Structure 1
Amino acid sequence: MSIAEQTTSLDIKADLVQRARDVAPIVIADADESERIGRVTPRVIEALRERGLFWITVPEQMGGFGLEWDTAVRVIEEVSAADGSTGWMLMANMGATGLCSWMFPASEKLVAEHGSMPLGCGTYAPLGKAVIVDGGLRLSSGPIPFNSGFDAAGQVLVMAVVHDEQGNVVTTTTGDPEMRCCMVDKDKVEKLGNWDVLGMAATGSYDIRVPEQFIASDRVRKFEEISAPEGAPYVGTELDFLSTAVSGHAPVVIGAMRRALAEIASASIGRRRLGYPETVDQHPLFGAEFTKHEAMYHAARDLYYKSLDDALNGVHERGGLTVAERARIRQAVTYLHDVAGEVVSFCALWGGTKTFRNPSVIGRCLRDVTVARNHAFVDPVTLANAAEPFIQEWAK
């Protein structure tokens, strides 16, 4: 890449981050209403569309910017600092749209029809049932939960386990279930609803069901072509499906921490509290705790961005990721969520009545991070599963 091309690329990245900052006032203004109705308001979705923020990783020839996931997550962080649910929805739609654009040959037809890549959504859990037939497969499912960003999407990613005609699970040579990733038109799935939650309330992460239908082969990919099981290396020139999905969660809680720290810092200035001779901002107890938690925020954020940068360098320079590089993303993202819980809880404790009197920004951050920490991608067991390469590395 030439210096001129590098400069242009950096300019585009900076412009996209600025667009995210510019949309923040609209996101903030609609945050309470979005939470009330259980989905991001149409006005905010349109504002994100107008600024092109859903198509950051989609190739230029398909109507996108053709940039890497590292730019996308920094945009997600900015939007999440305005509202966690909106950042989560953007993450889900942006990630699925980017994946659809390179995974499925049918995406080129969709671009020709719509002028740009339709937005995607979906979930990583393999809850669909696929039976291989001539020209594609028959797909069906029971309820599939957590389809964040469904309202904005036009395509739905469905992960499915392959069965034979007798209903038996088909396995790979290693004994694992064969899986397929399918891209399904949104109007061919059934929205079941069932989204009434404590936090991340505006993400519209509904349950869906896929009625039995034929899916053509140009809308289907084998799992091993787009990702790899945990604990295994990955071969490919794009960040794998699992690493993309996992790493997208981090900037949402980074944004929530940023917002909570900013809110409590502002609230502490000149504020009196019973038993404190000075204002809160001048008291050493608050100062020490704020400094510690601010350091925790920066350390966890930096580890996450380094793990992602290293992974992107791996796929571009070596055509894949080592077990340790994939494990580092899992480690960094799960650890970041643990830190977010501590940081936002600190802000909530010192927020006093600002935390629990609605509407409350700190209260919303606390609810959102609580829900985000319960996601399967950041379960504590992911740290245990990631441990082996780190133990071996330190033992050398």
Structure 2
Amino acid sequence: MIEPSGSDLAERARAIAPLIAREADEIERTRRLTPDVVDALIVNGLYRALLPQRLGGAEAPIEVFMHMLEEIAKADASTAWCLGQCSVCAMIAASLDPDTAREIFNTPPGILSWGAIAHEAHAVAGGYRVTARWDFASGSRQASWLGAHVRIIGADGAPRKNADGSPEVRTILFPVASATLHDVWQAIGLAGTGTDSYEVHNLFVPERFTAFRDVTSALRETGPLYRIGTGATFSLGFAAVSLGVARATLDAAIALARGKHQSLATSAMRDNAAVQGLIGRTEGDLRAARAYLYATAHAMWRDLCATGEFSAAHRSAVRLATTWTIHQSVRVVDTAYHMAGATAVFRSNPFERRFRDMHAIAQQIQARDSHYEDVGKSILAGGR
């Protein structure tokens, strides 16, 4: 395996993109990343983009991570989604003791996946015991470890509380062999992600395989990356995925317009003023969305490196930029799809799957309209 340095992750992603593009039909058909694609991601160190350097990871700056996902998404959205999911899950290593982190992430393939927050674990001597089922574990079919975010029930049978009175939530980690995976991901888009469900029965999880997720005081790593937290990093990564899908779809429409002669039309699409104007405006929309997203990430990272703080203002700025970028990417894909006409509906052409993938991305938590309400409330309260 090539040790990731961080700075060249996007170049490595670009180098393996043709392989991923060739495998995209098989990924869609089998609803799994193919072995060749997984091997390429592992060999090039891409799953280790956000692992601490002490573990041999890249601990990459956030913009490098985003650029890596954007390049992969141009080839296949499902691959980029799985890579983004598992890379962000690996950030939990910053809150584990080093020996435990090495056992999980430095034993091949060293891939962790997890699903939605749900259910409870009961505190017992030396750890926790849990019986539960979780959903939405993208990348679980490549993973060697699974995680789950659970509320903790104390030995007295009462829910444990944090100092502020909120429920104590821990992330528990366990080998994939300890769980049963359920093949449930029959979805309109992102079909190849294998975003399946998983369950465990009466599983004992030792204390050392648990951690507090996104709790700054629990961090064992001091790098700025881990102060961002997994929530905002998911948002930035998946917004970058949406940009990659939008770029590839618009590029396909441009290539089509250069050569297509529409039915009953007297001239080629490339000579049609309406098509020319539509491409120009859509190109401007996509470039603006990308510039806004990366400018927001850059400003946040600059401040974070200088102050060590991921502030409420940073969180709000990231939320606004990522949500808007995903929505803008949907518009770009829709425009390109409709521009292609009947050509776009055939699976053999590069529109139909990307259209479905983009609309699946837009249904995820990172694109909820309610995020605008949260940001607007902050602005009206005097924040930015």
The CA distance in 1 between the partners of 2:173 and 2:294, in whole Å, is 29
Matched, 1:44 2:37: yes
Matched with 1:92 is 85
Matched, 1:209 2:199: yes
Matched with 2:190 is 200
What TM-score do you get using the length of structure 2 for normalisation?
0.90
The CA distance in 2 between the partners of 1:314 and 1:216, in whole Å, is 38
1:157 aligns with one of 127, 139, 147 = 147
Matched, 1:126 2:111: no
- Report the CA distance between 1:117 and its aligned residue: 7.6
2:23 aligns with one of 30, 46, 49 = 30
Q: How do 1:373-388 residues align onto structure 2 when only pairs under 5 Å count?
A: 373-388=362-377
Mark the runs of 5 or more structure 1 residues left unpaired by the alignment: 1-10, 229-234
Q: 1:323 to 1:273 in 2, by over 3 A?
A: same
Q: How do 1:53-68 residues align onto structure 2 when only pairs under 5 Å count?
A: 53-68=46-61
Q: 1:68 to 1:135 in 2, by over 3 A?
A: farther
The CA distance in 1 between the partners of 2:214 and 2:72, in whole Å, is 33
Counterpart secondary structure, 1:195: coil
Aligned partner letter, 2:118: L
Matched with 2:169 is 179
Aligned residue pairs, count: 375
The CA distance in 1 between the partners of 2:195 and 2:378, in whole Å, is 34
Q: How do 1:261-280 residues align onto structure 2 when only pairs under 5 Å count?
A: 261-274=250-263, 276-280=265-269
Deviations 1:297-345 (A, max 9, x none): 1111122122222333343322222212101111111111111111100
The CA distance in 2 between the partners of 1:221 and 1:15, in whole Å, is 30
Aligned partner letter, 2:249: A
Q: 1:181 to 1:49 in 2, by over 3 A?
A: same
What TM-score do you get using the length of structure 1 for normalisation?
0.87
The CA distance in 2 between the partners of 1:342 and 1:157, in whole Å, is 34
Deviations 1:125-167 (A, max 9, x none): 321312223332223313x111111121111121111224575
Q: Is the 8 A contact 2:13 2:72 kept in 1?
A: yes
- Report the CA distance between 1:236 and its aligned residue: 9.0
Q: How do 1:1-396 residues align onto structure 2 when only pairs under 5 Å count?
A: 12-97=5-90, 99-105=91-97, 106-110=99-103, 114=107, 118-123=110-115, 125-142=116-133, 144-165=134-155, 168-223=158-213, 225-226=215-216, 238-274=227-263, 276-393=265-382
Q: Is the 8 A contact 1:100 1:107 kept in 2?
A: no
Aligned partner letter, 1:134: A
Q: Is the 8 A contact 2:113 2:137 kept in 1?
A: yes
Q: 1:148 to 1:133 in 2, by over 3 A?
A: same
Deviations 1:158-180 (A, max 9, x none): 11112245755444454432211
The CA distance in 1 between the partners of 2:299 and 2:370, in whole Å, is 23
The CA distance in 1 between the partners of 2:195 and 2:7, in whole Å, is 30
Counterpart secondary structure, 1:321: coil
Counterpart secondary structure, 2:187: coil
Aligned partner letter, 1:127: A
Q: 1:50 to 1:117 in 2, by over 3 A?
A: closer
CA RMSD in angstroms, aligned pairs only:
2.5
Deviations 1:71-119 (A, max 9, x none): 122111101000111111111122212x1321211534416962x7811
